[in-house]
Structures are given as structure tokens and as C-alpha cells.
Amino acid sequence: MEYYSTNNKHNKTNLFNAIKNGISLDGGIWMPNTIPEFDSEFINNLHSYDTQYICVEILKKYFSPEISVDVLKKIVEKSINFDILLHRLHVDKFNIIDNEFVIENIPTDDHVLELFHGPTMAFKDFGARVLAQIYDHLFKGEKYEILVATSGDTGSAVADAFYGTSIKVNIFYPTDKISAFQEYQITKFGKHIRSFSVNGSFDDCQMIVKKLIPAYKNKYISANSINIARLIPQIFYYFISYAKLQQIYKKFIEDYKIVYTIPSGNLGNATACLLSKKMGLPIDQITVACNINSIFPKFIKTGRYQSCETKSTISNAMDVCSPNNLPRMMEIYDERDLLKFVKGYTITDDQTRRMMLYSYVTHKYVMDPHTAVAYAARNMETRNENEINVILATASPLKFKETVEDCVPINIDTEHNSITETAKDTEKIEDVKETKTAENIENVKDNKPLNDVKENNTEYDIQRIIYNSIDTYIFEKLQLKNIIILIGMPGSGKTSISKELKKFDWDIIDTDALIEEKYEKKLIDVVNEHKDNFTDVESSVILNNNVIYNVIHNTTKKTIISTGGSVVYCDKLMSYFRDIGTIIYLQAEYANIEKRITNIDNRGIYTRGLSLSELYDERSKLYIKYGELIINTSIINIETSVQLINNLM
């Protein structure tokens, strides 16, 4: 097959030169002259083939006969020898019956394609390992060197893949913009794997590679997705996942629309998905999810490509403002056709953090920040019947331990004891300097799958955080409205949690204080004066209060409304709270309430003549009725409850 430059279709070359010179002299990148197709028999029977067979068949379409089929088989055997898992998401819907938990699994048609079970725990292992074997076959004994720019995962995958070869590798990564674990993976090898810390962004690293390769075309070869041999193996994901969907849905697969949601930076995965569709996979929609470096979503919306200054995010591998593969995407489909089935979404760090927490609490599934960006985009779309959505999980959460644990109250045991010893001697200079490699770091132990994510079963027992109605509506509401309303018994922690949230720059409104201000009396005196009419007084003050009105209409600041325990007696008031924000019930066991409330007669509690235990039983049913999210403060301490609420908004 011939390959042409995206800058000039008349500028063509063969496979060997396209791989060796990843960038054309005219500045374009190489595209196959024709996109090969599979017949319907092959597509319909994917489920009957093993993973390696599918991979070989894809490579044959692009690389054979230049590389023999026998060699391609050996390349795949050495490269794709780890699991590719398709995880179906379920919702755990919690209800309470006599203080016991009833967990009902509700199936959805959202699936997570786990592409991180390779040696460096990221999807880049596929392309990097195939590329290393192809290079070793084509260029063994020659004095070519590899150049690669990385925003984190590509560098570690290339370092690991080429360490078993004799080819020298040079990796450029942005200083202080990748995780400590990623830096460790890049710098740990030494010998012929060299790393360079660049004072700048990933785009600056990429520019270095783009300038060096044409200038020294007989010395350097690219290992980024600029290189066609890095890109083609990414097609594997889509054919393998469709085969797995066939196994799940069997003959009914044809009744469903297939949607892929892809976390994207340099657009290599999205380009591979377009190629897969062109090759015959029945893909109905491609959703491209970007962080705030949102070049592609803006392109989809306006039809104009406009680069920008790269911004650092917690999904750092996607911090790209000059995506190399956009020209390839435009070669596969013209803009008009592209807009028919490709969507783009921009996801902020706050949305990413909330989605990581949402995924864990709702599905008991831990996502890394990049996968969470994709899942956030998925949750911004209307869910249609007969639609299967596959979200690409591009990296293990173990690679982003600190970020994950900041967002999700769990402890991740990475089994990497020497991670804190990572390349800390990396020197920063104005331009580029070679990294001092961590020669004496203990080798990383065998990578472990997600079942090594362990929970602390006391303080962080998230199964005791009860969602009375977990669905997309609640999540969307948390994003759209900036108000949380706390309800619960006196002593459940409303005041303590509110005070702690104030330290995180939340505004606090105490409804009991509003009543005291209105009547210029202590709450207990207002309760004693109005007795059975107190709920009317309470609801009138809240519904007609200017402070709350201003929060709703004139500010975007996060606000907690800490309510009195009796607000649940007024249905009109609870409907009002549900309209303006999200209601969180702070549940506490009666024994804890009894310990905390020692002066019930002096606290201004509207008891209606009931004992504390009777009041607890009566109100608990109402709290459960109105609570949209329920946190058990007898199990979850104040600090963790504050973290959970703060991360939701």
C-alpha cells in the first residue's frame, strides 16, 4: 500500500518510508492511500475469533505484503499478550428496610473498555509494543534513534516497549505536568532509554520532535501517533470490543446503535475509531471528550480550527492544543459527513472530579481522570433506548493515585513500593536537559488489576453512603445548581459539616438563625410561643427570605443551607428546596443522636410532645422521603463527609 501526505495527496511513499519518516518533508503526516474494508462475514463473526487473530487481520490490511504475515503474527504474539476487558456498568440503588441495606443491581447499556492491563497500565501499550516490534524487524542493526513527545502515558509505554530492543530512545516530557508515577515509569530504565524534561507544555515537546525528524531524517524516527505504525494498532480496540459486545448481545446486537465515547488529546484514538467505521464496523456515533484544552469540540461547533495555549489539568495526558491527528480525521471523512455522527464535549476538572466520585458511589467503579472525562461527556448526552455506549478507559487509576484519592474516599494500594523515589533528581532548565535517571530504584512489582483497589472498611465504608435515587438527573442537578440543603435530626452533623465547608469557601445559611433574626428572639422562645404553628412560621421565614433569594438569583458561589430538623413537616418547603438545589439527608443512628442530644428541652426543638425516640422514628421516614442523597454520619466522620460534599460540587 502507498501512503500520502495530508498536506499534499500527490506526495506519496511506501510503507517503509512512511514508518521511517513519520512526518513528510512538506510537514504533513502519512495516510494510507485507500482505507481497506472487511466483508460482512468477517464483521459478523468477530466474536468467534481470538484477540490475536483479529489484530493480525487488521495489520495485514495495512502492512502486508511489505511485512510478511508470519512476521506480523510474531509481532502480535509478543505485543498483545495482556487482557482487554469490557466492564458493564451497573447502578447500585440503595433503600433502607429496618436499618438493613437492600442492594438492587440495575443493568445499563454503558460499558467501560479497559485498555490498561498492559505493562505500563495505559492504552498506549498497544501501539508502543507493536511499534517496537516493527522497528526491531525493519531497522535492527541500523543507527536510527526514536524520538517521542509525551504528556505522560506515551513516554512510559514507549520506554517499556523499546527497553527490550537495542534501539536508542529519547523521550521529551513537560516538567511538573505529569504524575510522579508516570515520571517514574519514563525515567526508571536508563541505558539506551533517555528522558528529557522540557520547561513547557506537551505541545512544546511535540514541536521539538516535529522539528528534529525532518531536519535529521536519517537519524530520528517518531514513536508518537504521528507515525502510522503507532496509529494502526489503535484500531484493535474497536474490533475487539465489538467482538465482546457480540458475545454479550448475541444476534440482538443488530438492534442496537453503537456509540464510542473517547477521552481525547492528540486524537489518535478518535482517528482509529473513524478508520474502524470506514473499515466496516457498525459504529453509529463517536463522542470525543476533551478537557478544557478543547480544540476539537470547538472545531465541531464552529468548523474552524484554532490553536490555543495549553492549560494544565488533572487529565494531563489530554493536555494538547495542537492535535496531530485532526488532519487525518478530515481525510477519512469530510467535514459535512463528520458532523453527522461525531460529537465533541469539553469537560472541566471540577466535572471530572465529580464524575470520579459519581462513578464510584453509583457503580462501585474506580475511574482515572481521563476515563472520567469520557464518562462525564457520556452523562451530558440524552440516553436513548437501544443504544450501547462503550467508554474507553485509557489508564488505570493506580497511575493517578493522588488525584483519585483526592476525589474518591478510598485507599489505593499500588503495590509499587518505590514510587516515591521517582526521578526526583530531574533538573529543570530554561530549555531542555537530560533527566538524571533513577538508576537505583527498586524494580516495580508486577502490575495488579483493579481488584487490588482496597477500601478502608471503617472510615471510608462507602457502601454505607446511601443514594435513595441515584440517576443521571441527580448528577446533572449537582452540576447545574450551586446549592446543597442539609436535612436531618439535631445532632446529625449539619452545623459541624457546614462550619467545615466554610473553610472551603462555601457560603453558609442557617435557617434557625434566620428565624431568630426575623423574630429577634432565641429559637426556643419562638418554638414555645408558636407551638403547633411553628412549622408555618419556619416555612414562611425561609420562603420569603431575601438572603436565600439572592443566593438563587444573584450568585454562583457554592452554598450550604443548614436546616432545622422540622422542615420536613412542610411539603411545600421541601418542594422548594428540591427546586433550588440538592437535598442531602445526614442520617445518624438513634444511639448516636441520643448521645449528642442531652438537652432536648433547651435546644429549641419542635417536639410536638414526642419523646426523642418517637421523634426520631417519625422524622426518619420523612428524611428518607425527601433526601436525594443520604450520608450516614454514624459511619462516615465529619472530615470525610465534608470531602464527599465538597467534591460533589
Both 258 and 391 in a single domain?
Answer: yes
Q: Which residues of 463-478 are buried (b: 16+ CB within 10 A; e: fewer)?
A: ebbbbbebebebbeeb
Written in H, E and C, the secondary structure of 411-462 is EECCCCCCHHHCCCCCCCCCCEEECCCCCCCCCCCCCCCHHHEECCCCCCCH
The percent of residues above 70 in pLDDT, for the chain, comes to: 85
Both 606 and 573 in a single domain?
Answer: yes
Angle at 518 between CA 516 and CA 521, to 5 degrees: 40
Both 284 and 375 in a single domain?
Answer: yes
465 pLDDT band, cuts 50/70/90, is very low
Q: CATH number, domain at 334?
A: 3.40.50.1100
Both 398 and 508 in a single domain?
Answer: no
The percent of residues above 90 in pLDDT, for the chain, comes to: 44
Which residues, listed in sequence order, are joined to residue 288 by a DSSP beta bridge? 262, 344
Report pLDDT digits (tens) over 322-357.
888 999 999 999 888 898 999 999 999 999 998 998
Average pLDDT value for residue range 543-569:
86
Q: How many domains does the chain have?
A: 2
State yes or no: pLDDT of 414 exceeds 60: no
Both 436 and 490 in a single domain?
Answer: no
For residue 406, the tally of other CB atoms under 10 A from its CB is 14
| Helix, coil or strand: residue 314 | coil
Predicted pLDDT at 244: 94
Mean predicted lDDT score pLDDT of the chain: 82
For residue 74, the tally of other CB atoms under 10 A from its CB is 14
Average pLDDT value for residue range 472-498:
81
Range of the domain at 271: 85-117+254-413+421-451
181 pLDDT band, cuts 50/70/90, is confident
Average pLDDT value for residue range 225-250:
93
Both 446 and 382 in a single domain?
Answer: yes
Which residues, listed in sequence order, are joined to residue 389 by a DSSP beta bridge? 110, 259
Predicted pLDDT at 476: 58
Q: Which of 479, 478, 455, 474 is nearest to 404 (CA)?
A: 455
Both 482 and 521 in a single domain?
Answer: yes
Assigned domain for 327 exists: yes
Predicted pLDDT at 479: 62
Both 377 and 517 in a single domain?
Answer: no
Assigned domain for 259 exists: yes
Assigned domain for 130 exists: no
State yes or no: pLDDT of 613 exceeds 50: yes
Which residues, listed in sequence order, are joined to residue 169 by a DSSP beta bridge? 146, 193
State yes or no: pLDDT of 98 exceeds 50: no
Both 436 and 472 in a single domain?
Answer: no
Both 440 and 559 in a single domain?
Answer: no
Both 429 and 471 in a single domain?
Answer: no
Q: CATH number, domain at 501?
A: 3.40.50.300
Q: Which pairs count as long-range contacts for 548-552, CB under 8 Å and 24+ apart, including other chains?
A: 548/509, 548/580, 551/483, 551/507, 551/509, 552/483, 552/580
Average pLDDT value for residue range 558-573:
91
Q: For residue 268, give the amino acid letter.
A: G
Assigned domain for 435 exists: yes
Q: Which of 104-108, 382-386, 506-510 has the highest mean pLDDT?
A: 506-510
Q: How far is CA 398 from CA 85, 112, 125, 176, 374, in A?
A: 17, 17, 16, 19, 18
Report pLDDT digits (tens) over 99-141.
333 333 334 578 999 999 999 999 999 999 999 999 989 888 7
Both 405 and 487 in a single domain?
Answer: no
- C-alpha to C-alpha distance for 535 and 23, rounded to whole angstroms: 73
| Range from 296-305, 370-379, 449-458, 605-614 carrying the lowest mean pLDDT | 449-458
State yes or no: pLDDT of 567 exceeds 60: yes
User: Between residues 141 and 186, which one has the greater pLDDT?
Assistant: 186
Assigned domain for 291 exists: yes
Predicted pLDDT at 527: 87
State yes or no: pLDDT of 77 exceeds 90: yes
DSSP of 34-65? S-----HHHHHTGGGS-HHHHHHHHHHHHHTT
Assigned domain for 504 exists: yes
User: Between residues 103 and 555, which one has the greater pLDDT?
Assistant: 555
Predicted pLDDT at 460: 30
Predicted pLDDT at 475: 57
Model's pTM, two decimal places?
Answer: 0.66
